[in-house]
Amino acid sequence: MPLRWTDATYVHFPLAELPTYYLRMERLELGLRERAYKSLVAWMAKALADRTKPVMTNSV
């Protein structure tokens, strides 16, 4: 179909699904951020545990 005859009925852009798409992308981004944070925390905890030695405490 020639472009000059194309109107909005031929363009498929489901506006009703836009909020669902946005929430899905936000959840995916949060998931990636959360996974990156958890892996960083695990890496730092492992590095800290490797450097420390057991300490004997005086308990009563």
Segment 33-57, tens digit of pLDDT:
787 887 888 788 777 766 666 656 6
**Mean pLDDT calculated for residue range 9-25:** 69
- Kindly state the tokens that stand for 48: 């800290």
Q: So what's the pLDDT on residue 11?
A: 54
Write out the residue range of the structural domain in which residue 27 sits: 14-51
**Dist. CA 45–CA 20, nearest whole Å:** 37
Residue 42 lies in a domain: yes
Q: Per the structure, how many domains does the chain have?
A: 1
Q: Is residue 31 part of a domain?
A: yes
CA 19 to CA 29: how far, in whole Å?
15
Residues 19, 24, 25: CA angle, nearest 5 degrees: 100
Inside any domain, residue 38: yes
Amino acid occupying residue 60: V
Q: What is the dihedral of CA 40, 45, 50, 51, to 10 degrees?
A: 100
**pTM of structure:** 0.40
Is 25 part of any domain?
A: yes
Is 57 a domain residue?
Answer: no
